[in-house]
Amino acid sequence: MKKVTLLGAIAIAAGMASCQQSVPTPVFKTDIDSLSYAMGMSNANGLKPYLSARMNVDTTYMGEFVKGLVKSVDATQPKDIAYMAGMQIGAQVGNQMIPGANNEIFGADSKESINKEDFIKGFVTGSLDEKGKMTPEAAMEYAQSTVQKLREAKAVADSLHPAPSLTSAEIDTLSYALGLSNSQGLKPFLATRQNVDTTYMKDFVKGFKETAKGTNEKEMAMMAGMQIGSQVANQILPMASKEVFGPESEESINKNNFVAGFIAGATGKDAKMTMEEASEFTTTHLNAIQEKALVTEFGSNKEAGEAFLAENGKKDGVITTPSGLQYRIISEGKGQVPSEGDLVEVNYEGTLIDGTKFDSSYDRGQSAKFGTNQVIQGWQEALTMMPVGSVWEIVVPQELAYGTRNQGTIKPFSTLIFKVELLGVEKK
């Protein structure tokens, strides 16, 4: 049968990247404070439709969602984190997974249902790694074979009334087997995705049992807030901090402001900027902060490149264009000169200013073909000045090359040297 998986049912999209349950009050003293708030708002963009469509949340209860989010994002004690994770997954089991399993097993129009109590017993047994009525492997095999037999019997008996069904005892056993088999893989998921210390699984089970039998709309909204709050605290905030300060930094953005911005973006209330302003502020200031960090780490590349260009520009035969590109004609061709967008065929070799080779079509034994507008700016300029048959040496300043981008061997702010042989051109 097609397996109804718990982890698939409760996963939140990674890209998401977020009433007065003490909603954080943002404080704007530095650019990082403002950026934190703007990033929070940006990460909440499109959240309401997601909650409604993917998490079955009635968005008229966004106040409850906010309560759950604030409660979860501020949780620090391992017992509390485990307990809340249990509540979240219990709510998903009761409101989504069990109804989904019913549809999968009995059909969308059926009123039959698996036994919640036995499903929960099986799930708890598997969660705690206790010895149950069957092994997880046996549970999986039983669930698959039982459902398959039921479907085959119903397919044969389409015209019969009543259609074949399971006995009460079979449904109880199947429910237990489904609960047990669907708890497999839960502990690694809790540890890696929800920051749960799995030595506190009894606290997880306590929360799970409180919500697994089903919750109302207000409770579902709060559970969704707790679930996304956990994602904000354990994934989105750390990733945002790494994006701002770099993967090796221990610095963090302002959590209080990020959460305040996230809540404002999610609810549309009390926002200090529009969503468009938040997006623009994030882009411009994040780029400025990242570039400043790159200058600190790789500024020596920029200085070395500028010194190299200054000396190289004094050499005989070297021409410097208004953009800063330098070229020296090794041999002059007599063919056509490419225009923007033309397809060219070239052989080339690229090195750093210290002589490190990073690419060579000569070494590969195969020329390259590409459009003149598909390469770095320095190449675009050189190719649209070279006649076919020419061989030039070009020196590309970092701003006409990859700039702040890290291309592996080519670090940020690297000036590049190329030998370029233009073999042919196809006019557009």
Counting runs of H as helices and runs of E as strands, what totals does the chain give? 17, 7
Q: How many CB atoms lie within 10 A of CB 11?
A: 14
pLDDT reported for residue 365:
95
Helix (H) or strand (E) holding 191: helix 186-193
Note whether 359 and 301 are within 8 A (CB).
no
> What is the distance between the alpha carbons of residues 422 and 30, in angstroms, rounded to a whole number?
52
3-state secondary structure of 278: helix
Greatest Cα pair distance, the chain, in angstroms, is 97
Q: Does residue 72 come out as left (phi exceeding 0), alpha (psi in the -120 to 50 range) or beta?
A: alpha
Q: What is the pTM of this model?
A: 0.62
**Hey, what are 346's tokens?**
């070239």
pLDDT reported for residue 55:
85
Q: Which of 210, 225, 118, 218 is nearest to 173 (CA)?
A: 118
pLDDT in tens, 277-323: 999 999 988 888 878 878 888 999 999 999 999 999 999 999 999 99
> What is the distance between the alpha carbons of residues 51 and 186, in angstroms, rounded to a whole number?
23
**Hey, what are 273's tokens?**
């900027």
**Domains of the chain, start order:** 6-273 (no CATH), 310-426 (3.10.50.40)
Q: Which residues of the chain have pLDDT under 70?
A: 1-21, 155-164
pLDDT in tens, 121-143: 999 999 999 999 999 999 999 99
> What is the distance between the alpha carbons of residues 396 and 148, in angstroms, rounded to a whole number?
66
